């Protein structure tokens, strides 16, 4: 039987300060910078789950809901929400905190697929995941539907190659 481990093992939190080089002329953070942060935390999250090196197979369902400004603190949280044979779906959310008011706003959510690879770069099996929170259980239940949608989009993407 496939070994399963708790989602809590992968849960990762990273905090970043939004600085001038990360921002545009309006003082708000570049989307590409947020994506780079999201990719990094997803990789750490998936490595903690699998105990293996991982690569990013896809980044989808990215929603930029609001922006972070210079001097804000960005708090990112990643967790494995479902697994395949060698792939892991990682949910990442980024919240922006205003230092003066301590108010937190959800700025970005994303789901990434990370694949564990062996030394030869080939995909290698990962543990299953046991979701913990209500939200993780909900995302776990819908994983198959997201996979099917992703496969359809991949077919479309292949037409662009
Ligand atoms: C991701 C990668 C390892 C998949 O290799 P592959 O030879 O296609 O392997 P497979 O077809 O056996 O697929 C392996 C797993 O990846 C998943 N996968 C492959 N392409 C995917 C995609 N575009 N989106 C989501 N999942 C994908 C498969 O569904 C499969 O999951 P499962 O084992 O859980 O069922 C390979 O395409 C790769 O190395 N890509 C480059 C990754 C990279 O360098 N990323 C950094 C940014 S460029």
pLDDT one-digit tens code per residue, 8-39: 999 999 999 999 999 999 999 999 999 999 99
Measure the CA–CA gap between 161 and 158, rounded to whole angstroms.
Answer: 5
Measure the CA–CA gap between 96 and 142, rounded to whole angstroms.
Answer: 27
Q: Give the tokens for residue 109.
A: 């959510």
- CA of 155 from ligand 1 middle (Å) equals 14
**Closest residue by CA, ligand 1 atom 10:** 123
Measure the CA–CA gap between 57 and 45, rounded to whole angstroms.
Answer: 15
Query: In this prediction, what percent of the chain has a pLDDT beyond 90?
Result: 92
58 lines ligand 1 (CB under 6 A): yes
150 lines ligand 1 (CB under 6 A): yes
Is the pLDDT assigned to residue 1 strictly greater than 70? no
**Could you tell me whether strands 87-97 and 128-130 are parallel, antiparallel, or unpaired per DSSP bridges?**
unpaired
- The fold adopted by the segment(s) 4-160 is Thiol Ester Dehydrase; Chain A (3.10.129)
- CA of 72 from ligand 1 middle (Å) equals 35
Specify whether the CB–CB gap between 90 and 50 falls below 8 A. Answer: no
Specify whether the CB–CB gap between 113 and 58 falls below 8 A. Answer: yes
Q: Domain segments of the chain: what residues?
A: 4-160
């Amino acid at each position: 039987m496939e070994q399963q481990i708790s989602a809590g093992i992968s849960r990762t939190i990273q905090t970043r300060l939004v600085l001038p080089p990360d921002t545009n002329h309006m003082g708000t953070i570049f989307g590409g910078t947020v994506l780079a942060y999201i990719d990094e935390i997803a990789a750490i999250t998936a490595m903690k789950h699998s105990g293996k090196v991982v690569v990013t197979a896809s980044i989808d369902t990215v929603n930029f809901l609001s922006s972070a400004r210079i001097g804000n603190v960005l708090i990112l949280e990643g967790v494995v929400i479902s697994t395949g044979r060698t792939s892991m779906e990682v949910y990442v959310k980024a919240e922006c905190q205003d230092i003066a008011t301590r108010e937190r706003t959800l700025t970005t959510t994303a789901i990434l697929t990370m694949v564990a690879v062996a030394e030869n770069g080939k995909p290698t099996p990962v543990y299953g995941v046991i979701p913990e929170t209500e939200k993780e259980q909900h995302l776990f239940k819908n994983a198959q539907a997201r996979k099917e949608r992703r496969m359809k989009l991949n077919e479309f993407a292949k037409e662009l190659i």
